Each structure stands twice: as structure tokens, then as C-alpha cells.
Structure 1
Amino acid sequence: PWNEIMEELAARSRQHYRALIYEQPDFVDFFHEVTPIEEISQLQISSRPARRPSGKKDLSSLRAIPWVFSWTQTRFLLPSWYGVGTAIQEFLNEEPEEHLKLLRYFYVKWPFFKMVISKAEMTLAKVDMQMAHHYVQELSKPEDQLRFAKVFDQIASEFYLTRDLVLKITDHNQLLDGDPVLQRSVQLRNGTIVPLGFIQVSLLKRLRQSQNTTATSGVIHSRYSKGELLRGALLTINGIAAGMRNTG
């Protein structure tokens, strides 16, 4: 019965995750504009390119590592938790008190379930929705801001739901209360990379503006070249990856 419940939770979570990725019409544009996926593609971080050789800039051609890496840079960490909250909430809606008691029992008695929740808790603790919102605000084109705001609100809503339900199951007041050493480490690293996030957003914005200007008029109105802006952006990507300790 425990495995059957876990299969049910997994199916519900997967369905909600795929609904965002494949059924939200603005999601692909959102991903390409508000994350540094194109800049990450130019990093020399593996023996394989970021995309499979299809020639298309769609999600099906994108490899797993740059997909996760992009969400980590923007502090969403979306692939590691999105859908968990909805799955748990739907399960709790059936028998609120009994099912919450059952999930708490799983957390105490079932190492596999505890590991799943602990991993979700760790990545949730690394999420910074304020910084993620800054990426959305600054990197969205003016004509896209309204529709991208709706995508962000959908993601943020799932984040807060997931965080609250994980805290209910673990019976913690704050994320990672059960591991104060890791909690302090994550808090310190979260704080130290905030300036890098602001610098990265600024550099990405200027780099993309310079590329658009070059494409339309052939002139870049900047004291820095495109190569210098790209090098600065790539350095911030390395710095944030080192601070987050999660890449892809």
C-alpha cells in the first residue's frame, strides 16, 4: 500500500509538472527570456553541446544538465520541486487529518519517503523567489511582461504551496530545521550570491540589448564589447553555480 500511495503521488506530481512545461503556451518563451540558457550554452562545461543536433530552440532538443542549470542560476530550481505541492494537496484533500498523519508516519518510518521530502526541502531552501522575480522583471521584453507575470505567479503559487506542505509533513517551523548545520550553510551561501544575481541580470540585459542593436543597426552603444559582456556573464554563472552547489 505504501508503494501504491507513492505511485499515486508521483503520477499527480508528474501531471502537474508536465501541464506547466508542455501546456502553458507562454512557458517556452518565458524560459528562454528569463534564464541564461543561451549564455550557458556557450560555457565549456562538458564534452557535449547544450542542445541535441536538431537545430531547433525547443525543449525537446535541450539536454538535461543545461535545463536544470538554467533554473538554478535564476534561483527558481523549478525541476526539483514543481508539482510536489499539488500532488500532496490533492492527496490530503481526500482525508485531510488521516492522510497528513499517514504522510508524517511515512516521513518517520520510511527512509525512501524521508529522502524524497528531505531533498525537496533542501532545494526549496535554496529558492529565492524575490531574486527569481527580479530576473523576470528585468529580462522580459516590455511586450512580454504581462504574460510572463502570469507564468511567474503560477510558479510562485506552487512554490509556496509546496513549502508549506513540506513543513507540515516534517513538522518544522522553517525549512531544514532538522539539519541546522546545512540550514546555516544554505542561508550563508544564499546571501553571498545575491549580489552576483543582480550583476548577472544587469550583464545579461546589456548583452542582449547589444545583440539586438547589432542585428538591427550594426552599432553597439556601449563602453564594453559584446565579448566582454559575455565573459562577465559567464563568470557570474560560474560564481552562482559554486555558491549554490547544484548545477545540473
Structure 2
Amino acid sequence: MKGRKFAVIGLGRFGSAIARKLSERGAEVMAIDINEEKVEDIKEDVAYAITLDSTDPKNLESQNIQEMDAVVVAIGTNFQDLILTTFALMELDVERIIVRAQDPIQKRILEKIGVREILSLEDEVSNNVAEQLLNPSVLMSIRLPDDYEIIEVKAPRIICNRTLADIGLREKYNINLITLMRRGAIDDKMHIIGVPEPSTKILENDIIVIFGKSKDIDRFLEINE
């Protein structure tokens, strides 16, 4: 995960959790808020903590925000500031902009102005968001005690059209395949393919559900990107 660069704008509880989680996973994180106290609170946990008004494109450009792999806008107290910040990021051609909506009305407004990735309060989980930023192919992540994890991920291209025995998930990566999901030929919906056997073949567009230590899962994802 090293070498990835992210910015989080808005350091409330949610934004701070995202910033810290990304930083813990080895990403270079820039945490931004107009409130100096919030910036001070997180400065020891991220690469850069900056106090500035994010509604001004010049302020963002001065921090080379357009060079980030993704920017999360998590401003929760002022929707106008959130909109202006989002517009500023769009003007600067930031590659990936992810914006948090407080309610369905905000979500509709964000959709209208062209925001493609919107986080809704009802389904936001900081660990999931961080995981999806670091690994866009990850669809779901559940953290378990003792640094274990279950993730749902699009099957990496390099393991497609190979059997589980050939891939050797347990032997090579020390992780286990719990199950996999495959799109039905008739109804075009994803279906669970039960308990996999060594002879089970992973196909293109399959979604696999794997279990193991976080460090082993990270290694599997990095090697097979």
C-alpha cells in the first residue's frame, strides 16, 4: 500500500477515522480542516495535517491536491462548504473524488453536480472505505479480532481460469477461500457457488470471499494487482 497518496478534507469523527486507517495501512495521507484544533489532534497520525479553507481552489492547488490518488470530502457541518470544496476539486481535475452525504437530499444534489462516488450515512464504515481506497477491487471488508479479516474482492486477473489447487491460496499466501460468487447466465445476478473444492476454477468476473491475517491478504492483493 506504500506509495499511495490520499487527502481527507473534514476531520470530524468519520474523516479522522478514514485518515488514520489509511495511514495505518501505509498510505501517505494529507488531513485537511479549517479547524486548527482538529488538525492538531491528528497531526501525529498522518504524513501531513494542514489548516486551510478548502472552498478556495487556490488553497487546494497550493497543496498539489491534484496529485492525490483520491480525495475524500467528509465535511459534515456545512453543506455549502462541502459543495464548494467538491467544485474546487473538480476544477482542479482531481482524479478520484469521494464525497460524504448526510442525507438523501444531499446525495441527490451531489449526483446532479456529477459526483460519481458518494458515501451515505446508512452504509458508511470507515474500514470499508479505507480498504476500497487502497484496493479498488475490494467490495467489502470485515475486521476480526487478532488482526484477522474477511474480504470480498473481484477475482484478480492473474488467478482467473485456474483451479484452487493450482493457485495455492493456503500454501502460497496462508489465506483461505470461504466461497465465491458468479454471475448467472440466465438472470444475470450474482450467485454463491457454495463451498469451493480444490478442483473449483476461478473465472473472470467472479467475486471471491477470502479469510486470513490482514498482512497475508495485503500480500495476496499486492502480488496479484
Same fold per TM (> 0.5)? no
Scaled by the length of structure 2, what TM-score is found? 0.29
Q: Write 1 or 2 for the structure with the bigger share of helix.
A: 1
Q: Write 1 or 2 for the structure with the bigger share of strand.
A: 2
